[in-house]
Amino acid sequence: MNWFLSGTLLAGLLTTPTTPADTWTITAGGPAATVHLDDQGRPSVAVERDGAAVLDPSPLGVVTEQADLTTGLRLTGRSSRVVVEKYATTAGKRLNRMSVMRETRFRFARGDARLDLVVRAARDGVAYRYELPGAGAVVSEASAFAVPGGSTAWLAGHRRDYENPFIQYADVPAAEYQMPALFEVGRSYLLLAESALDGSYTGPRLVREQGAYRIGLWDARVPYDGGLTTPWRVVITGDLATVTESTLVDDLAPGSEIADTSWIKPGKVLWSWLAGGRPVQQSLERQQEFVDYAARHRWPYVLVDAGWYDDPVTGERAWTDRTPEFTWIPQLVEYGKARGVGVMVWLRFSDFDTRDKRVQRFGLLRQWGVKGVKLDFIDSEAQERLRWYDETLRDLADNRLMVNFHGSTVPKGINRTWPHVMTMEGVHGAEKSSNLTTSHLAALPYTRNQIGSMDYTPMAFQRSGRPTSDAHELALSVLFESGLQNLAGSLDAYRARPEAERFLDQVPAAWEETRLLSGRPADHTVLARRSGDRWFIGAGVSGAARTLDVPLSMLPGRWLVEVTRDGAGGLVREPHVVRGGTLAVDVAAEGGFAAVACPWKPGLTTCAR
């Protein structure tokens, strides 16, 4: 640990008043970032919204093996520009985006050493990153976030695969936490996140100490050659709707590396792991049953999970030279193709950890006709492993394979840069058999899922230990965004719930618009997402039964709203013809509802097509 950064510098900056030497403010009509260089040459940044602080003065800078660039700095130049970008994505809250940001570059020096600080401001937040010339190695960052005292926090403890639950704190204990991290600061919400992380750097964690959250790095030493541009440290702030709907993490990421995205198609995936585990994954006949169900319901994909390429004779749990000889996956692909269903397959990271393995094995999967892969057990944000992501993403794109990363990092703008990344795990999800609560679920839209597609794997109706009612579980198909929505129910569980089938047959996995209608982290969420001329609404609560008053301002004129909620004997569907205003829906304890809204016309009785 660098004790100077974690102790003296942080304490001094947060508690010791200084005489302002140089101060600059950057804003684009929303929150304002104020960069300050004190009389000891120590840079800091503070963020203000509507005249109130959402981030107190927080230290900046890096320490390299060559120089301490956290103190003794002098400004040698400053320039500004406006960055306007229009882009499209294959998944997320909105498929088409427009980003407008004001950027200021500060050029600092200490002796012969140089450090550029680049700050951007948007209507929904601010961000900064560092640029260093030449060659060297970063050993620590001074970067920290001084969240004002008394703020409520929703945090998950740091874990290499990001699979810890989010917990609400009034008083946050000293520990290490993952990003993103959410806070309620006065009348504003504040989300701390990261964008544009790749193999040129290393992963972060938030280290709670001395009233602030310091950036800790995965690697003790991060070498670079030919210059270094670090990831963006992102501060999203506004009311809860602004923070939830923000795409700032994607806006800051590099543009697409793939010119032709026509082969990248989001959609529902029938996933059989929680319906039977390894035996189901090793049976062609059972997998054909899932293909048949998907075809009947017009779901575009099935996913064969762990076990399909284990050697049936030796039981060896690895891809071997004999794998292509005994697997039935090509037969399943042909079976699915004849029925309009694509096949995806699970893979172990360790079987694809070199370029030679990836070229040969991804090429074979493409030859078979596989549409996408689920790569699992990556479990690291070390620089070496992030370089593996960079190389693997290129190899996957070369073979036109969509990807779902599990045991992984979380999205940090990756879908904008690599549009075939359809979803990532990085969540305490439905596979967990313990400590899965509706309060955690009611925090996810504002935290983990805020930054990008999340493979929670909902719809495991057959699992007796799940915390949700049936209607709440059904609503997760809307509440949780994922470019590949892996639905985890058993075939019998779906068939026993025809109203769930009816809704799932309609709900898409790609959205043109997303709006938060009502919510409070860890308490409840009501989200509306638009696809074409229809809106889908998902609602889930944590705790007691209640009536949700759902605002419908996004529905001009008369609309038919079909609400599926918990009834005395199971799921029930109720039609309502509305004209804006609000819709009151009674929900059960730990319950919710799922709804679809379509423009009403005389004689219309259902939104189903």
Residue range 353-388, pLDDT digits in tens: 999 999 999 999 999 999 999 999 999 999 999 999
DSSP secondary structure, 79-118, as one string: EEEEEEEEEE-SSSS-SEEEEEEEEEEEEEEETTEEEEEE
* Residues 471 and 419 both lie in one domain: no
CA-nearest of 257, 177, 589 to 420 is 257
Residue 8 has pLDDT above 70, yes or no: no
Q: What does DSSP assign to residue 29? A: S
Alpha helix segments (H runs only) across 116-265: 240-245, 248-251
Q: What are phi and psi of 551, to 5 degrees?
A: -70, 140
* Residues 419 and 464 both lie in one domain: no
Count CB neighbours of 152 within 10 A. Answer: 16
CATH code for the domain of 145: 2.70.98.10
CATH code for the domain of 470: 3.20.20.70
* 10-14, 27-31, 576-580: least confident range: 10-14
* Residues 469 and 399 both lie in one domain: no
* Residues 234 and 132 both lie in one domain: yes
Beta-carbon contacts of 464 under 8 Å, excluding residues fewer than 6 positions away, are none
Q: Is residue 57 part of a domain?
A: yes
Question: Which of 124, 381, 431, 590 is an active site residue?
Answer: 431
* Contact between residue 160 and residue 252 where contact means Cβ atoms under 8 Å apart: no
Q: Is residue 111 part of a domain?
A: yes
Total domains present in the chain: 3
Q: Is residue 595 part of a domain?
A: yes
Once rounded to an integer, what is the mean pLDDT over residues 430-448?
Answer: 94
* Residues 563 and 599 both lie in one domain: yes
Query: Which of 210, 227, 251 is the last residue in one of the domains?
Result: 251
Query: Which of 251, 279, 309 is the last residue in one of the domains?
Result: 251
> What are the structure tokens assigned to 135, written together?
């060659």
pLDDT band at 20 (very low <50, low <70, confident <90, very high): very low
* 123-127, 308-312, 482-486, 514-518: least confident range: 308-312
Residue 1 has pLDDT above 80, yes or no: no
Once rounded to an integer, what is the mean pLDDT over residues 519-530?
Answer: 98
Q: Which long-range contacts (CB under 8 A, 24 or more apart) does 391-397 make?
A: 391/199, 391/355, 391/358, 392/352, 392/358, 393/257, 393/418, 393/420, 393/421, 394/257, 395/355, 395/358, 395/359, 395/362, 396/362, 396/420, 397/257, 397/258
Look up the domain containing 299 and give its range: 255-426
pLDDT band at 311 (very low <50, low <70, confident <90, very high): confident
Confidence (pLDDT) at 313: 78
pLDDT band at 320 (very low <50, low <70, confident <90, very high): confident
Q: What does DSSP assign to residue 595? A: E
Once rounded to an integer, what is the mean pLDDT over residues 524-538?
Answer: 98
Query: Which of 198, 224, 251 is the last residue in one of the domains?
Result: 251
Confidence (pLDDT) at 379: 97
Beta bridge partner(s), residue 343: 302
Confidence (pLDDT) at 323: 86
Region for residue 271 given its phi and psi (left: phi exceeds 0; alpha: psi -120 to 50; beta: otherwise): beta
pLDDT band at 5 (very low <50, low <70, confident <90, very high): very low
Residue range 121-162, pLDDT digits in tens: 999 999 999 999 999 999 999 999 999 999 999 999 999 999
Share of the chain above pLDDT 70, in %: 97
Once rounded to an integer, what is the mean pLDDT over residues 322-351?
Answer: 95
* 93-102, 305-314, 542-551: least confident range: 305-314
Any catalytic annotation for residue 376?
A: yes
Confidence (pLDDT) at 62: 98
* Contact between residue 343 and residue 333 where contact means Cβ atoms under 8 Å apart: yes
Question: Which of 48, 376, 455, 499 is an active site residue?
Answer: 376
* Contact between residue 195 and residue 253 where contact means Cβ atoms under 8 Å apart: yes
Q: Is residue 98 part of a domain?
A: no
> What are the structure tokens assigned to 571, written together?
């799921």
* Residues 458 and 404 both lie in one domain: no
Q: Is residue 188 part of a domain?
A: yes
Q: Is residue 280 part of a domain?
A: yes
* Residues 186 and 285 both lie in one domain: no
Residue range 163-197, pLDDT digits in tens: 999 999 999 999 999 999 999 999 999 999 999 99
What's the whole-number average pLDDT of the chain? Answer: 95
Residue range 236-285, pLDDT digits in tens: 999 999 999 999 999 999 999 999 999 999 999 999 999 999 999 999 99
* Residues 180 and 305 both lie in one domain: no
Instruction: Report helix, strand or coil for 437.
Output: coil
Any catalytic annotation for residue 311?
A: no
* Residues 518 and 388 both lie in one domain: no
Q: Is residue 160 part of a domain?
A: yes
* Residues 242 and 263 both lie in one domain: no
* Residues 141 and 221 both lie in one domain: yes
Angle between helices 470-479 and 498-506 (to 10 degrees): 10
Q: Is residue 580 part of a domain?
A: yes
Q: What are phi and psi of 61, to 5 degrees?
A: 115, 165
Confidence (pLDDT) at 6: 42
pLDDT band at 21 (very low <50, low <70, confident <90, very high): low
* Residues 259 and 247 both lie in one domain: no
Count CB neighbours of 345 within 10 A. Answer: 24
Instruction: Report helix, strand or coil for 402.
Output: strand
